[in-house]
Amino acid sequence: MADIASIELIEKLIQFDTTSYKSNLELIEFVRDYLLSFGVESQLVYNPEQSKANLYATIGPQDKPGVMLSGHTDVVPVTGQNWHTDPFTVVEKDGLLYGRGTADMKSFIAIALAFVPEMQRANLTTPIHLAFSFDEEIGCVGVRHLLTMMEDMPLRPAMCIVGEPTSMQVVNAHKGKLAHRVTVNGLEAHSSLPHIGVNAVDYAAELVVFIRRLAQDLAEQGPFEEGFEVTYTTLHTGKIAGGTALNIVPKQCTFDFEIRNIPGQDPQPLFERIQQFAITELEPQMKKLDASCGFEFEQLSGYPGMFTPADAEVVNFVQSLSDVQGLKKITFGTEGGLFTQRLGIPTVVCGPGNIEQAHKPNEFIAVDQVAAMNAFMRRLIAALS
């Protein structure tokens, strides 16, 4: 029955358009009511505007630490993507389930929910906790409200499984991320008189080149962390805009850059080197003409890397539940680093689907990945009963 319910719940959850700029309350309230129909009460943890919520629930003994299954309910936009089907209606073709969020990561949530009746029937001696968040896709924003609630809990989960798509392989490490927006304020002038203006685009370009050279140094000199596809910390400028017309010295330019750090490297000193170069090397040149010129830095998002030792209990336990052997490190981020950093909960990432399908048009999950996750859930329930 749970196998059928898994597909039905995937179909149901995909129907909720929980793109990050929208509310997830309709989905969360559906999950709350679904759990309540099996006698499981939930706690909702809202954002300040009460427009979005995390959900936390426990099945089994309430007075023991247990295993937490963690997933995010939001999805990335479909705007501008060439979808062959309605992205918010699951379509099955050739053993694949198409729809936004099938891989990343509503299928994991749906399968966990499908097994709630079996959890309730089992004589669980160790509880299973469900933790579903919002706004993960824009920088692990929503889960921080949940973490604040959990910090005050008398008992926290003993371990956590984040169900991001790993094709059911156990992941014990991922990189962290720190993203900033830089605003460069210059001084307008006629382009025939550039010497009386301060070209914001030029100074932005100098800082972008500095970031690129810093990235090259890291690629050549490290530090390195073996096991990652990209074994060093990377820096990347992804967006830039500035100027109003070709015959005007640009007054302003903005660009966004990110640092994706290996778990053992703190990204803050790298950011400070970039900021220091702007303030000490570039700003004095700008301010010679006008004191209002200079750089502004705004943090857009950030989350820590995750590293769980290969011999940790959670690693061995989750490996015993999966058919896919071996450990893996991933370059994309999850909420796992926050669970470890803020709450001290040993965490791994393991879930159905492939990250290569995430964020793309015609996103899909293979039906055999759903079956593999179903088998994983049965082993989990048996192990905790």
| Count of residues making up the chain | 385
Contact 266, 177 (CB under 8 A): no
Over its C-alpha atoms, the chain yields an Rg (Å, rounded) of: 24
Is position 118 annotated as part of the catalytic site? no
Burial (0-12, 13-18, 19+ Cβ within 10 Å), 219: middle
Three-state secondary-structure class, residue 140? coil
- What is the rounded distance in angstroms from the CA atom of residue 32 to the CA atom of residue 53? 11
Active-site option among 11, 74, 164, 202: 74
Burial (0-12, 13-18, 19+ Cβ within 10 Å), 46: middle
Contact 367, 92 (CB under 8 A): yes
Burial (0-12, 13-18, 19+ Cβ within 10 Å), 22: middle
- What is the rounded distance in angstroms from the CA atom of residue 236 to the CA atom of residue 182? 13
Question: Residue 328: CA atoms inside 13 Å, Cβ hemisphere, count?
Answer: 18
Is position 296 annotated as part of the catalytic site? no
Residue whose tokens read 């156990």? 170
In the chain, the largest separation of any two C-alpha atoms, in whole Å, equals 81
Residue 202: other Cβ atoms inside 10 A: 18
Active-site option among 135, 136, 202, 225: 136
- What is the rounded distance in angstroms from the CA atom of residue 382 to the CA atom of residue 64? 17
Q: Tell me the β-bridge partners of 159.
A: 67
95 contacts: CB under 8 Å, gap ≥ 6: 366, 367, 368
Please give the span between the terminal C-alpha atoms of the chain, in angstroms, as a whole number: 19
Which residues form the catalytic set? 74, 136
